[in-house]
Amino acid sequence: MQINDTLIDDTFAEAFPMKATRLVITAHTPVWANHAATSLTGFATSVIGCGCEAGIERELAPHETPDGRPGVSVLLFAVSTKELAKQVERRVGQCVLTCPTTAVYSGIDPATSRAPLSDNAPLGSSLRFFGDGWQIAKMLGDTRYWRVPVMDGEFVAQESTVTVKAVGGGNLLLLARDMDSALRVAESAVAAMRRLPNVIMPFPGGVVRSGSKVGSKYAAAPASTNDAFCPTLIGLSPKSELDAEVGCVLEIVIDGLTDSDVGAAMTAGITAAVGLGRAGGVLRISAGNYGGKLGPYHFHLRQLAAGVEGRRA
């Protein structure tokens, strides 16, 4: 399939089950809410080396937060509820509790969640012990909050955060004529995806240049460079899928609360990419998979692109 002279490969992105939660961080000003959210989501690009994948979902206006202050919603994904709970406790304890004026709340409403619910993860119930006995519990309706004395007043945290079954590993490979074209299309695609709820792109700026494959010639390495998509290995790697016209390949990885959320984000990314088209240096759009053997969620590019082509028509 071609759209705007950009080739859409007949392949699919393979994604995996994960566990996820949304945290709402509020603060006295938007600046401090963003400081806490940025710190919390740092070093969270891949569960392989970071324990979780996390990112800022969006900024929140005061009328959208539990305490009527400016806020930021963040999404965290991990391979298990146990690992997710560990990452929440560490990251909130080190990055939100420490940040001036902040509070933290669960951001998923069990009554309206489209994602299947999982076990709750501790939030204030663990962090309250920092209060050294001075902490106070507060019930509002059926929800318990903890008030922990700190040097600027109080740190407020909801007792636990709702977790859900989620999807991680949706992806797009953007094959471009040169570096400038690749950066332009990747930035455009990420911007389009970030306008959607319930998804994050966890890598720096939403983009990863070090796409990987499973396994390596070195026994100690579980993953290695995706030589099939490395332009410098054209004519050298027998697995190369590139021709001489491709000068740069960038990947976008997407995590979402449901498979529909991931599919919608991928569709938005494809729409942005083909909008630039071959004239903008976008030669091909592909995706990474493991032959369909490892992940139950398969996002076929041509099915997603068919909707894009119809809307463009």
Q: What is the pLDDT of residues 173-226, one digit of tens each?
A: 999 999 999 999 999 999 999 999 999 999 999 999 999 998 899 999 988 999
Q: What is the pLDDT of residues 14-27, one digit of tens each?
A: 999 999 999 999 99
Q: What is the pLDDT of residue 88?
A: 98
Q: Is the pLDDT of residue 290 over 90?
A: no
- Token digits for 233? 């290995």
- Identical fold between 2-14+167-312 and 19-164: yes
**Amino acid at position 274, single letter:** V
- For CA atoms 162, 163, 166, 172, give the dihedral sign: positive
- Give me the residue label for tokens 């909130």: 92
pTM (2 decimals)?
Answer: 0.95
Q: Give CATH for domain 19-164.
A: 3.30.70.520
Q: What is the pLDDT of residues 133-182, one digit of tens each?
A: 999 999 999 999 999 999 999 999 999 999 999 999 999 999 999 999 99
Q: What is the pLDDT of residue 281?
A: 98
Distance between CA 285 and CA 297 in Å, rounded? Answer: 19
Please report which helix (H) or strand (E) contains residue 259, including its range: helix 259-276
Distance between CA 169 and CA 229 in Å, rounded? Answer: 18
Report the topology of domain 2-14+167-312: Alpha-Beta Plaits (3.30.70)
Q: What is the pLDDT of residues 78-132, one digit of tens each?
A: 999 999 999 999 999 999 999 999 999 999 999 999 999 999 999 999 999 999 9
Residue ranges per domain, the chain? 2-14+167-312, 19-164
Work out the average pLDDT over 61-66.
98
For the chain, what is the mean pLDDT?
Answer: 96
What are the beta bridge partners of residue 130?
Answer: none
Query: How many CB atoms neighbour CB 162 within 10 A?
Result: 21
In order of 17, 82, 146, the CA distances from 79 in angstroms are 8, 9, 28
**Residue-by-residue DSSP string for 35-58:** HHHHHHTSS-S-HHHHSSEEEEEE
